[in-house]
Structure 1
């Protein structure tokens, strides 16, 4: 029984790269949604008279695209794993 080491290394490299990519895109989406407005103290407490504002519309749109890309990667992985989907 021979083991194709180059194939094993390639699969390991692609899986680690895809995992890091999906985690990075998800973290980017979370970062865009956790917008810190200028009405907060450095420790995160709201200043007197200033409440938290929502992230801007472009930030919410890009965050939604990031989450959609993560969901697409998960769906594609399930498609590859489950033979009934082929």
Structure 2
């Protein structure tokens, strides 16, 4: 039995890069859709800010339209990558 170690190393390297890239892209999609917590400067010294856990006082706002569009683009690229992988396996 003869193992082609160079080919095995190439497969390992490509699969590692593809996995890390796909997970990173999906993570960017999640971050693009995450609500933003802004620091409320008016209540920074108030009792409401002191009563909040771990200094999490602030206003929660929706993600900007550009961030949401970027998140959708990341999800679409993930879908294309998965579809291409399925195509390679089936072909």
Give the TM-score normalised by the residue count of structure 1. Answer: 0.78
Q: Secondary structure at the match of 1:37?
A: strand
User: Which structure exhibits the higher relative contact order, with contacts defined as CA atoms closer than 8 Å and separated by 6 or more residues?
Assistant: 2
* Structure 1 runs (4+) greater than 2 angstroms displaced: 39-47
| Aligned counterpart, 1:61 | 69
Give the TM-score normalised by the residue count of structure 2. Answer: 0.74
| Aligned counterpart, 1:38 | 38
Q: Which has the larger radius of gyration?
A: 2
What is the RMSD of the two structures over their aligned residues, measured on CA atoms?
2.3
* 1:37 to partner: Cα distance: 2.9
Where structure 2 has 5 or more consecutive residues not aligned to the other structure, the ranges are: 41-51
Greater share of strand? 2
Where structure 1 has 5 or more consecutive residues not aligned to the other structure, the ranges are: none
Structure 1 residues 46-86: Cα deviation after superposition (integer angstroms, max 9, x where no partner): 65xx5x32211100111111011111110010000013xxx
* 1:39 to partner: Cα distance: 5.5
